Amino acid sequence: MIAELFIRLENLEKRIVKLEVFEKENIILRERLSKYENPKNSRNSSIPPSKDENRPKKNQSLRKSTGKKPGGQLGHKGDQVIKLWDFRIMQKYWLV
């Protein structure tokens, strides 16, 4: 009975050595594989661009701030369309 236990123990030790070899090989192969794996995005797969990880958020503008307020700026002369719907204005321009 003790001899059988020693034989089992030897077999287990051999398996442990094999497992250690396989674990080292597995680590090496995973490192090699990680060099060739690219994260999937809209350019190299069928994933839509809205699912890309490094895309700007919807409320994040790519423009840089100029410091000016939106709308018409002070000092800029605006042009207006002449209203020709009034008959008096039409006489002024057409009957001269």
Q: Which two tokens stand for residue 5?
A: 């236990």
First-to-last alpha carbon distance for the chain, in angstroms, is 129
Contact 42, 51 (CB under 8 A): yes
Q: Which of 29, 51, 28, 56 is nearest to 39 (CA)?
A: 51
Q: Is residue 63 classed as helix, strand or coil in its secondary structure?
A: coil
Ordered by start, the domain boundaries in the chain are 1-36
The answer to whether the pTM exceeds 0.85 is no
Sign of the dihedral through C-alpha 48, 49, 50, 51: positive
pLDDT tens digits, 34-63:
877 777 788 888 888 888 877 766 776 778
What is the helix (H) or strand (E) element at residue 30, kind and residue range? Answer: helix 2-36
